Structure 1
Amino acid sequence: MTAFAKTDTDAPARPWYKKLIGMGGTTIPVVRLQGTISPESKQGRLNIATVSPMLEKAFAMKKAPVVAVVVNSPGGSPVQSRLIAQRIRQLADENDKRVLVFVEDAAASGGYFIAVAGDEIIADPSSLVGSVGVIMASFGFVDAIAKLGIERRVYVAGKNKSTLDPFQPEKQQDVDRIKSLELAIHDVFIDYVKSRRGSKITLPDEEVFTGEFWTAKQGLSMGLVDGLGEMYTVLRERFGKDAQIKLIGPKKPFFSLPGFGLSSQTAGSDLVGDVIARIEDRANWSRLGL
């Protein structure tokens, strides 16, 4: 139990009239971050543009002793992950508030990057955490288009402009260049985890920063998380049984209101994009067996 925590025994009793109307308990703002991390602002995606307004609203609650952030993400864009984590820390420092991160199914890869921005990480024993690594994936269709009798014609200015073109044979120099980029991004990830949790991690770098993920129960002994538990129970143990949990959600776009329907052409385009996004998201979760 940390020094700032309150328990049921030291939480002041609420007057009967405040209990009657549901007032008087400590209010804890909760921001829920669920989904793949991506620059695309589609449903189920996380990025700085969609997340920042929710964080700002949560941290603006001056009387709240902490801000709780629920993370449930298999990862995604390293840039958006870092921007979200950085924004959490900026707001925490500006408002002098601690951040409690609660992990649900997973805080993996970019999801773990965001979780590390918390002052404490609390997860379900079966949550998946870690995956401190970088992955880039593509396809190769060279043999397929050859069988179909299709000839690929590419004209570029800049010899590396067509790096990893899926319709051309793979080039070793392209692979080497991509791997060097991955290593650079991986270093940024490792440095951030060390800056936030370096004193807590109990294993050497070569065992932690492999891209592997673990259950939170395993991660607790490794120093990847600080405790095991569930948000509602933990918050009420610390701030009293009358603690009020206030979920901070995104604002609905104006044009999503009734009477502002999309044209059939726009709706069709959005539908195709949503299907592709769902397939990509499913693949990201599948990497974790979820």
Structure 2
Amino acid sequence: MDEPAAPVAWLQITVETERASLAEAIFESFDAEAVTVLDAGDDITVENTPHEHPGFEASRVTGLFTHGTLAAPIERALQDTLGNDATIEVNTLADEHWASAWLAQHPPLHFGHRLWIAPHEAPVDVDDDAIVVRLDPGLAFGTGTHPTTALCLEWLAEADIAGRHVLDYGCGSGILAVAAARLGAASVTAVDIDDQAVRATRENAERNGVSQCIETPALDGIGARTFDIVLANILAKPLIALAPTLTGHAAPGAPLVLSGLLTRQIEDVKNAYTGAFTFEESAIREDWVRLDARRNGHD
């Protein structure tokens, strides 16, 4: 009688670092099957200017490698490159254990009445009219777990999106752009200063069947166009600096959704948009804020 096949094992290496991009590059140079970047904790994220790449204060970067990959050379490369900045953890996961553990860490998330965000392999028991966006944690920011993203998804889930032209400024993983498209937007323009984020947005749009209505032009490729809805889930400093830009892209009467700021930054951000928008009551979660406003003028 043949012996049952032994379960395939995966090599998983996780590094906690403030230099996530270097860790990603190392994992990719060793032919990682998957690389995931997540916030290392609930600390306040780095506040960048509009011309700097966004990032977590500290990130947990995980590389998944096929059976037989040696951990030692990868660990050595991480240590040589990151030095004392890195905390490295090495694990071996059986195939079925990896799948179940991964899905347990990233369960489907529900927003509003009918919007769900779920990994591609996660089962979702939903009604026929539910909108399920499939998104795996990956190299760009935004999987719906952070309060700022969740607040924006909740707004989208309840808003009148159908037939609207939407601008997602600072698209990250493309989660808001894809959700808007799945909710019926006529078109979504998604932009970001990070080329990796733009690539992730395109891939997620393709995998969710909405690439035909999502465009990803360069930041300077939008021109003077105006939009029915403007979304910006960034951070307080760039939100303030980008006030003239976002104001110029909002059509009269258009909703403006700003997120990525803290409660202590509400007035500073609002002041940057004074005169052009009328603000509604703020939505707050875990000290993070979503500001909802409407462009002054007629629809």
Q: Which has the higher contact order (CA 8 A, sep 6+)?
A: 1
For the criterion TM > 0.5, the same-fold answer is: no
What TM-score results when the alignment is normalised by the length of structure 1?
0.24
What TM-score results when the alignment is normalised by the length of structure 2?
0.24
Report the structure, 1 or 2, having the larger strand content: 2
Q: Which has more radius of gyration?
A: 1
